[in-house]
Amino acid sequence: MAYNTHMNFWQKIKAEKGMILALSPMDGVSDYPFRSISKKYGQMELVFTEFANVEGVCLSKSTQILNHFDFDNAQRPLIAQIFGKTPKYFKQVAVLLCEMGVDGIDINMGCPAPTVSSHGSGAGLIRTPDLAREIIKAVQTGVQEWSEGLLLEDCEDISTQTIAALRDKKKFFALEDADRKRQPTVSVKTRIGIADDEIESWLPNLTQMNLAAISLHGRTLKQSYSGRSNWEVIAKATAIVKQNSPNTIFLGNGDVLDYEEAKQKVIDCGVDGVLIGRASFGRPFVFLPSKQREEFLRTHNLFAIALEHAKLYEETYGQKERYNFLPMRKHLAWYTKGVEQAALIRSELVRSNSATEVAEILKKHQLI
Ligand SMILES: Cc1cc2nc3c(=O)[nH]c(=O)nc-3n(C[C@H](O)[C@H](O)[C@H](O)COP(=O)(O)O)c2cc1C
């Protein structure tokens, strides 16, 4: 692809690096501290936030849901992911994300969780393609109208508390005011179908929408996380996307373990890049090419990184209402994978309540 100034950041990365490697969005996992640590040590090109529910952003009395969108400039390009089923809320949350200064807005059309998909959101949208397209249009309209001057204050379902919380966040994370000439891209992450491969009927609904990117997890909604991600279907989907919408970046996803496997998928399936999710738990180095990965493992102590992660978690959320250390514990367990005496160390780490306690445990076992 020839490089030109009209390219969006997806296309620029593809042109510069040959492929795009991204940290997949993961609810309950890819919060701000996890993304910071992953990006610092894994140096992947893109990170996605956990998904946040647009109905929740607009209707909830609490502003806690905005924590899903926390980011700083070091995480750019940052893609915020949202889910839901109500176009008018998608439009207003798109305006909110523009105001926050994210680089991309991704719409989740892949979540199989019954609490999401059985209500018609996430992968449930594969059943209602007209609504799926309406939602994409709503987000694109929100972005467009914001770039033409629409104010967050003019969005009827965004409360004054939400606007105040957003301003506080921008201050906390040192985010400058967003430039209305820099519109966030709009993309979709989805699955191959409800019970079977439906890409031939489903994907054209997306490729006609002028999306910057489409990410495809090679499982159906019914499969949830069972079986294997079907990369043959992903390869077939590449052809559909490239034929119908050649400027749309297309990423494959599912069961990829490291940089080399991702590169092989790009070669074998023709995708522009790959999202890696679960393989990165406690292992930010999986995004590095093998030589750099070996060097990383020679020169870094993963437990020092675990402690850095715990400290960042505490610094970020320690002062927030309803703060607790619980969500950090699973990460600590993941950092012990493949370590001698892992069971004992893990059992202590998953009972820790602060970064200070984590440091004590790691010191006691002479791990830092
Ligand atoms: C704990 C967990 C939470 C997830 N949350 C999201 C999410 O918020 N949005 C999304 O699009 N996908 C979500 N996913 C799906 C992943 O992004 C990814 O598509 C899936 O795990 C397959 O990729 P992998 O085999 O590399 O993990 C989640 C997956 C896991 C395991």
- Please report whether residue 278 resides in a domain: yes
Pick from 259, 285, 311: which residue ends a domain? 285
- Please report whether residue 1 resides in a domain: no
Q: How far apart are CA 317 and CA 298, in angstroms?
A: 32
Q: What are the pLDDT digits (tens) for 142-190?
A: 999 999 999 999 999 999 999 999 999 999 999 999 999 999 999 999 9
Q: How far apart are CA 33 and CA 327, in angstroms?
A: 11
- What share of residues in the chain are helix, strand, coil (percent, to 5)? 50, 10, 35
- Please report whether residue 77 resides in a domain: yes
Does 307 lie in the same domain as 197?
Answer: no
Supply the DSSP symbol for 210. Answer: -
Pick from 285, 311, 334: which residue ends a domain? 285
Residue nearest to atom 15 of ligand 1 (CA): 26
Q: How far apart are CA 271 and CA 290, in angstroms?
A: 21
- Please report whether residue 75 resides in a domain: yes
What does the pLDDT average to over 72-96?
Answer: 98
What confidence score (pLDDT) does residue 1 get?
A: 45
- Please report whether residue 315 resides in a domain: yes
Measured from the CB, is residue 56 less than 6 Å from ligand 1?
A: no
Does 35 lie in the same domain as 128?
Answer: yes
What confidence score (pLDDT) does residue 3 get?
A: 54
Pick from 285, 311, 341: which residue ends a domain? 285
Angle between helices 326-335 and 302-317 (to 10 degrees): 170
Does 276 lie in the same domain as 251?
Answer: yes
Does 314 lie in the same domain as 183?
Answer: no
Give 20's strand partners: 273
Burial degree of 130 (CB within 10 A; 0-12, 13-18, 19+): exposed
Cβ atoms of 66 and 169 within 8 Å: the answer is yes
- In the structure encoding, which two tokens stand for residue 336, read together? 């012990």
**What is the residue whose two structure tokens read 């992968």?**
123
Give the count of domains, the chain.
2
Q: What are the pLDDT digits (tens) for 284-334?
A: 999 999 999 999 999 999 999 999 999 999 999 998 878 999 999 999 999
Measured from the CB, is residue 29 less than 6 Å from ligand 1?
A: yes
Does 78 lie in the same domain as 220?
Answer: yes
Q: What are the pLDDT digits (tens) for 8-64?
A: 999 999 999 999 999 999 999 999 999 999 999 999 999 999 999 999 999 998 999
Distance from residue 79's CA to the centre of ligand 1 (Å): 15
Contacts for 263 with CB less than 8 Å, ≥ 6 apart: 19
Measured from the CB, is residue 252 less than 6 Å from ligand 1?
A: no
Measured from the CB, is residue 117 less than 6 Å from ligand 1?
A: no
Give the count of alpha carbons within 13 A of 203, CB side only: 27
Does 94 lie in the same domain as 122?
Answer: yes
| Alpha helical stretches, state H, the chain | 9-17, 32-42, 54-59, 87-100, 114-117, 129-147, 160-172, 199-207, 231-244, 259-269, 290-299, 302-317, 326-335, 342-349, 355-364
Does 231 lie in the same domain as 172?
Answer: yes
Q: Give 4's pLDDT tier (boundaries 50, 70, 90).
A: low
Task: For residue 325, give its domain range.
Answer: 301-364
Does 244 lie in the same domain as 111?
Answer: yes
Atom of ligand 1 at shortest distance to CA of 253? 23
Burial degree of 273 (CB within 10 A; 0-12, 13-18, 19+): buried
Does 115 lie in the same domain as 31?
Answer: yes
Distance from residue 219's CA to the centre of ligand 1 (Å): 11
Give 79's strand partners: 48, 104
Does 195 lie in the same domain as 341?
Answer: no
Cβ atoms of 105 and 147 within 8 Å: the answer is no
Residue nearest to atom 2 of ligand 1 (CA): 26
Q: Give 74's pLDDT tier (boundaries 50, 70, 90).
A: very high
Measured from the CB, is residue 254 less than 6 Å from ligand 1?
A: yes
Q: Give 5's pLDDT tier (boundaries 50, 70, 90).
A: low
Does 352 lie in the same domain as 204?
Answer: no
- Please report whether residue 290 resides in a domain: no
Does 131 lie in the same domain as 43?
Answer: yes
What confidence score (pLDDT) does residue 320 get?
A: 82
- Please report whether residue 2 resides in a domain: no
Residue nearest to atom 9 of ligand 1 (CA): 25
What confidence score (pLDDT) does residue 112 get?
A: 97
Distance from residue 26's CA to the centre of ligand 1 (Å): 5
Q: What are the pLDDT digits (tens) for 194-225?
A: 999 999 999 999 999 999 999 999 999 999 99
Give 78's strand partners: 47
What does the pLDDT average to over 267-278?
Answer: 98
What confidence score (pLDDT) does residue 123 get?
A: 98
Measured from the CB, is residue 280 less than 6 Å from ligand 1?
A: no
Taking 50 as the threshold, does the pLDDT of residue 133 lie above it? yes
What confidence score (pLDDT) does residue 6 get?
A: 85
Q: What is the CATH number of the domain that holds 99?
A: 3.20.20.70
Distance from residue 101's CA to the centre of ligand 1 (Å): 24
